[in-house]
Structure 1
Amino acid sequence: MTEYIALLRGVNVGGITVRSAELKALFESMGFASVRTVLASGNVAFEQVEADDDGRAETSAALKERIERALGERFGYEAWIVLLTRAELARVVEAFPFDAERAGWHPYVLFGSDAAHLAELAAASSDLDEADDVVRAGEGVLYWHNRRERGVDSAFAKVAAKARYKPTTTNRNLRTLAKLLP
């Protein structure tokens, strides 16, 4: 079995309500094992059987597409997820380049499905006031450290929240990601 993590984008905000119990039930109905949700922001850890009845393994891309389709049908929205293996998520968490325990700061990871959008966001971070926001590119992610006092009013938060990035990015606190790993 392969352990996966699915990070749903845009749930429990903007009128899209996905309750954790219903989310867990959906994943179990799709044949996944050891399903657990973390917090109410669309985080699911689960195990996938390596092969189907014909002995063929489902690719990550096909698995992602199948989950997005099921989410859309069940909850009535255009679903988009980040799908990672547990090992991939562990590498992302381990590579966080800032002091995650720094008092007064939020440690975030910004995931994206569009490399060009991540590159644009990384380029936009070059002019930031490092007293409020620091951003570093990682493998398929941006690591973001944000001063709590500024929060969603910080320069980078405003850039990352632009409508053009919403369909391709999702952000998670490093502490949430760590809870998905045990």
Structure 2
Amino acid sequence: MTTWVALLRGVNVGGITIRSADLGALFREQGFDDVRTFLASGNVRFETDAAAVHRAALKSRIEAALRDRFSYDAWIVLVTRSELDAAIDGFPFDADNPARQPWVVFCTDEATRTELAAAAASLDPSVDPISTGPGVVYWNPVKGTTVDTPFAKMLAKARYKATTTNRNLRTLVKIAS
């Protein structure tokens, strides 16, 4: 069995509301085991016999089920538990700095991660501290600026809607525990 984490993009914001109980039920109905939802922001940990080599098919299956059940254009980033742990362990900034927000931006493909990292290289690191890891971009902006910085505005572009989602490091630690 492989433990997976589905990170849904755009849930419980912008008019798309999905209750955690309904989300968990959908995953159980799909035949997944040990389903657990976290917070109200579209985070689901589950187990299935699908190995990482079957990620694309599993992702498509879950997105189709979400679209059918909740009538919205669903996009998810799907990571294994070990990939989640590596993303948490690799956070390169001071996660305990109370003045900063520790974010991890998950990318569905290497091209997106590379593009974001290249664009971020020209940004002011005091405003948009950026680093990369396998499948992720780490971002550590000042609290209260996460929608206003140049990197935030870049992430908000429609072109990244289907290929990224971000989570606060503290949320990821809860999912992993």
Which of the numbers 106, 110, 113 marks the counterpart of 1:118? Answer: 113
Q: Percent identity over the alignment?
A: 58
Q: Is the 8 A contact 1:108 1:174 kept in 2?
A: yes
Q: Distance in 1 between matches of 2:101 and 2:110?
A: 24
Which of the numbers 97, 101, 108 marks the counterpart of 1:106? Answer: 101
Equivalent residue, structure 1, for 2:65 = 70
Q: Distance in 1 between matches of 2:112 and 2:53?
A: 28
In structure 1, stretches of 5+ residues that fail to align are none
Q: 1:91-150, CA deviations, whole angstroms, 9 ceiling, x for partnerless residues?
A: 111011111111210011111124333222212212222222201121111011111142
Q: TM-score, normalised by structure 1?
A: 0.90
Is structure 2 residue 173 aligned with structure 1 residue 181? Answer: no
Q: What is the identity, as a one-letter code, of the residue corresponding to 1:39?
A: L
Q: Distance in 2 between matches of 1:47 and 1:18?
A: 21
Is structure 2 residue 156 aligned with structure 1 residue 144? Answer: no
Residue 8 of structure 1 deviates from its aligned partner by: 0.6
Q: Is the 8 A contact 2:20 2:40 kept in 1?
A: yes
Q: Distance in 2 between matches of 1:87 and 1:150?
A: 30
What SS class does the counterpart of residue 79 from structure 1 fall into? coil
Q: Distance in 2 between matches of 1:58 and 1:136?
A: 27
Residue 62 of structure 1 deviates from its aligned partner by: 1.7
Q: Is the 8 A contact 2:77 2:163 kept in 1?
A: no
Q: Distance in 2 between matches of 1:5 and 1:120?
A: 24
Provide the aligned C-alpha RMSD in A.
Answer: 1.9
Q: What is the identity, as a one-letter code, of the residue corresponding to 1:181?
A: A
Equivalent residue, structure 1, for 2:148 = 153
Q: Distance in 1 between matches of 2:176 and 2:98?
A: 23
What SS class does the counterpart of residue 147 from structure 1 fall into? coil
Q: Is the 8 A contact 1:5 1:44 kept in 2?
A: yes
- Check 1:58–1:144 CA distance in 2 against 1; reply closer, same or farther (3 A cut): closer
- Count residues with an aligned counterpart: 177
- Check 1:154–1:57 CA distance in 2 against 1; reply closer, same or farther (3 A cut): closer
Where do 4+ consecutive residues of structure 1 move more than 4 Å?
none
Q: Is the 8 A contact 2:35 2:45 kept in 1?
A: yes
Q: What is the identity, as a one-letter code, of the residue corresponding to 2:3?
A: E
Q: Distance in 2 between matches of 1:149 and 1:61?
A: 35
Q: Please tell me whether Structure 1 or Structure 2 has the larger radius of gyration of its CA atoms.
A: 1
Residue 170 of structure 1 deviates from its aligned partner by: 0.6
In structure 2, stretches of 5+ residues that fail to align are none
Q: Distance in 2 between matches of 1:75 and 1:115?
A: 29
